[in-house]
């Protein structure tokens, strides 16, 4: 058995084309996908959405592969992987940005800036009022800058039993920005609690006054003029901070199986929300649900037979007319077909009617002139719900034009090409069609009274004692299966 030889030539232009298209379209679809996930009432519907997302991306690749004749499976798969990686990074950056808007920026709007920053702790007089005298404010700034942060942590060692590490953990959990142990060891009290995004050292008095009148969001982004850090562009260009935000989301939890679940914490319950390892599993599963179907669709399309001599995809014939009745005992059928495809010519042709009769279905891929042909053989059965179930027995096996002519003739189908010079006997075909199968797979022979007597070559008469023409060693169907079932 000779199978279709898939192209081993790597096609970099095709790979780039697929990667670019999947990256762009995947990024655009991410907006819709994430919005659906925010409002979707069921986690199971979210799973369906993920599969549909991947199927849509696979469809994009399918069209490109077909149009641009990308017949290298490796090029298609690599392009899909690159494209999936790019749009996945974008999707996650968009998710983090929206999460910050829902869980950070909205929270900032409900907090008084002076209280959050600490002006009401360090910059107050004896009566607890915020300082307004510039000299007193500058003196306070100098004092706070002279206090090493490590001294502060040591002084409050009861609150930070593990020293700097405990402080870093506490700070990163309670504040919107994050710090490292190295920063803490090298900084003063003022540097840590009054970073540039919270205060203008040249106008501390003005900052204190503004903070007392604004919420934290207005103060930081409108008054101080800090740019929003967690935008898509910022996150993709600052991978360490991007990764830190993903870990923070995972630690807090954003996803649940409850009704009206959302990716935002505002609609989740502490009783059923996913976090930690469980949430990592959910996220990884989501990536597989989206990317695997897309890659499989692309790989299968690129692996279909391509006629290099014509620079075209092979044409396909998948007709109910090319159907055969499987043998009574199917145990050795697959091995028999792989060993000698001409064993198919010993199976009775079958007329497809409604019902659940098992059948052998044939798909023929061919060049324009049929000089290059490939055959796929499938066994179709039906489950209790009458749904078809196909099992591929052999795929893309190379067959000759003579074999194809014999197959069409055996199935009582019109041969779509000239058989001159093939050595195929040209006796007239029987006018009766093979007996149709009823719902239970039983066959009724045609009434002899309604049958026209025609001349049929001996090689194409079917009986248990005489196989179809072309079967090697002239073995009967039963002999072949007895051999493979030993």
Neighbours of 212 (CB within 10 A): 17
Compute the distance between CA of residue 377 and CA of residue 340 in angstroms, rounded to an integer.
Answer: 13
Nearest partner of 46 among 30, 33, 59, 58, judged by Cα: 33
By the 8 A CB rule, do 376 and 338 touch?
Answer: no
Boundaries of every domain in the chain: 12-108+239-302, 113-232, 312-484
Separation CA 279–CA 176 (nearest Å): 22
Give, for all 486 residues of the chain, the pLDDT tens digit: 788 878 888 999 999 999 999 999 999 999 999 999 888 867 888 899 999 999 999 999 999 999 999 999 999 999 999 999 999 999 999 999 999 888 888 888 999 999 888 898 899 988 889 999 999 999 999 999 999 999 999 999 999 999 999 999 998 887 766 789 999 999 999 999 998 878 888 899 999 999 999 999 999 889 988 887 789 999 999 998 899 889 988 988 776 655 334 444 444 444 456 788 989 999 999 999 999 999 999 999 999 999 999 999 999 999 888 999 998 888 888 999 999 999 999 999 987 766 678 999 999 999 999 999 999 999 999 888 888 999 999 999 999 999 999 999 999 999 999 988 887 765 544 433 444 444 333 333 333 333 333 333 333 333 333 333 333 444 444 454 444 444
In the numeric block, the tokens 């079967």 are attached to 471
Distance CA 335, CA 484 (A): 7
The neighbour count for residue 451, using CB atoms within 10 Å, is 12
Cβ contacts of 58 within 8 Å, gap of 6 or more:
293, 294, 295, 296, 297, 298
The pair of structure tokens assigned to 396 is 């893309």
Both tokens of 158, joined, read 């009861």
314 in Cβ contact with 306 (< 8 Å): yes
pLDDT of residue 443: 37
Give the CA dihedral 420, 421, 425, 430, nearest 10 degrees: -20
Report yes or no: 2 and 400 within 8 Å, Cβ to Cβ.
Answer: no
CB 261 within 8 A of CB 243: no
Q: Please give the Cα distance from 289 to 132 (Å, whole number).
A: 59
Predicted local confidence at residue 384, as pLDDT: 86
Q: What is the dihedral of CA 79, 80, 86, 92, to 10 degrees?
A: -170
CA 136 to chain centre: 62
Residues 425, 249: Cα–Cα separation, whole Å: 74
HEC assignment per residue over the chain: CCECCCCCCCCHHHHHHHHHHHHHHHHHHHHHHHHHHHHCCCHHHHHHHHHHHHHHHHHHHHHHHHHHCCCCHHHHHHHHHHHHHHHHHHHHHHHHHHHHHHHHHHHHCCCEHHHHHCHHHHCECCCCCECCCHHHHHHHHHHHHCCEHHHHHHHCCCCCCCCHHHHHHHHHHHCCCCCCHHHHHHCEHHHHHCCCCCCCHHHHHHHHHHHHHCEHHHHHHHHCCCCCCCCHHHHHHCHHHHHHHHHHHHHHCCEECCCCCCCCHHHCCCCCEECCHHHHHHHHHHHHHHHHHHHHHHHHHHCCCEECCCCEECEEECCCCCEECCCCCCCCHHHHHHHCHHHHHHCCECECCCCCCCEEEEEEEECCCCCCEEEEEEEEEECCCCCEEEEEEEEEEEECHHHHHHHHHHCCCCCCCCCCCCCCCCCCCCCCCCCEECCCCCECCCCHHHCCCCCCCHHHCCCCCCCCCCCHHHCCHHHHHHHHCC
pLDDT for position 355:
67
Give me the pLDDT at residue 89, please. 97
- The two tokens of residue 20 are 């670019």
Between CA 431 and CA 425 the distance in angstroms is 17
CA distance 472 to 141: 99
pLDDT for residue 207: 93
Instruction: Give the integer Cα–Cα distance in Å for 99 and 91.
Output: 12
> What's the token pair of residue 142?
């100098």
**CB–CB of 34/101 below 8 Å?**
no
Strands 312-313 and 306-307: antiparallel
Q: What is the per-residue pLDDT across 269-310, written as a single tens digit (0 to 9) for each?
A: 444 567 889 899 999 999 999 999 999 999 999 999 999 999
pLDDT of the residue at 270: 47
- Are 297 and 59 spatial neighbours (Cβ–Cβ below 8 Å)? yes
CA–CA distance, 11 with 297 (Å, rounded to integer): 18
């Amino acid at each position: 058995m000779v199978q279709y030889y898939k192209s081993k030539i790597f096609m970099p232009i095709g790979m780039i084309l697929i990667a670019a298209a999947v990256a762009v379209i995947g990024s655009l679809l991410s907006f819709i996908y994430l919005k659906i996930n925010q409002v979707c009432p069921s986690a199971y519907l979210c799973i369906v959405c993920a599969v549909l997302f991947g199927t849509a991306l696979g469809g994009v690749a399918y069209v490109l592969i077909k149009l641009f004749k990308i017949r290298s499976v490796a090029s298609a798969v690599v392009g899909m992987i690159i494209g999936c990686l790019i749009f996945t990074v974008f999707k996650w950056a968009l998710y983090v940005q929206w999460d910050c808007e829902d869980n950070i920026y909205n929270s900032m709007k409900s907090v008084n800036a002076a209280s959050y920053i600490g002006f009401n702790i360090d910059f107050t007089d004896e009566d607890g009022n915020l300082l307004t005298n510039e000299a007193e404010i500058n003196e306070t700034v100098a004092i706070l800058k002279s206090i090493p942060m490590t001294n502060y942590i040591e002084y409050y060692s009861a609150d930070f039993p593990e020293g700097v590490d405990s402080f870093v953990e506490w700070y990163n959990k309670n504040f919107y920005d994050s710090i490292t142990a190295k920063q803490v060891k090298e900084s003063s009290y003022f540097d840590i609690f009054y970073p540039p995004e919270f205060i203008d050292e040249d106008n501390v008095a003005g900052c204190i006054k503004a903070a007392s009148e604004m919420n934290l969001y207005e103060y930081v982004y409108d008054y101080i003029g800090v740019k929003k850090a967690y935008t898509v562009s910022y996150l993709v260009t600052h991978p360490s901070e991007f990764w830190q935000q993903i870990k923070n989301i995972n630690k807090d939890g954003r996803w649940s199986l409850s009704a009206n679940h959302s990716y935002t914490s505002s609609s989740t319950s502490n009783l059923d929300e996913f976090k930690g390892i469980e949430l990592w599993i959910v996220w990884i599963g989501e990536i597989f649900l989206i990317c695997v179907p897309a890659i499989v669709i692309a790989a299968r399309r690129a692996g279909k037979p391509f006629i290099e001599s014509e620079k075209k995809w092979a044409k396909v014939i998948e007709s109910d007319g090319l159907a055969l009745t499987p043998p009574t005992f199917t145990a050795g059928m697959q091995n028999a077909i792989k060993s000698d495809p001409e064993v198919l010519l010993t199976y009775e042709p079958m007329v497809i009617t409604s019902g659940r009769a098992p059948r052998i279905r044939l798909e023929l891929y061919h060049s324009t002139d049929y000089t290059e042909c490939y055959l796929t053989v499938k066994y179709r059965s039906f489950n209790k719900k009458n749904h078809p179930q196909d099992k591929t027995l052999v795929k893309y096996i190379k067959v000759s034009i003579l074999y194809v002519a014999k197959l069409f003739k055996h199935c009582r189908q019109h041969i779509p090409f000239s058989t001159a010079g093939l050595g195929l006997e040209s006796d007239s075909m029987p006018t009766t069609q093979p007996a149709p199968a009823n719902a239970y797979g039983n066959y009724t022979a045609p009434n002899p009274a309604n049958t026209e007597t025609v001349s049929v070559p001996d090689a194409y008469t079917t009986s248990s004692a005489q196989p179809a023409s072309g079967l090697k060693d002239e073995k009967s169907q039963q002999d072949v299966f007895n051999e493979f079932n030993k």
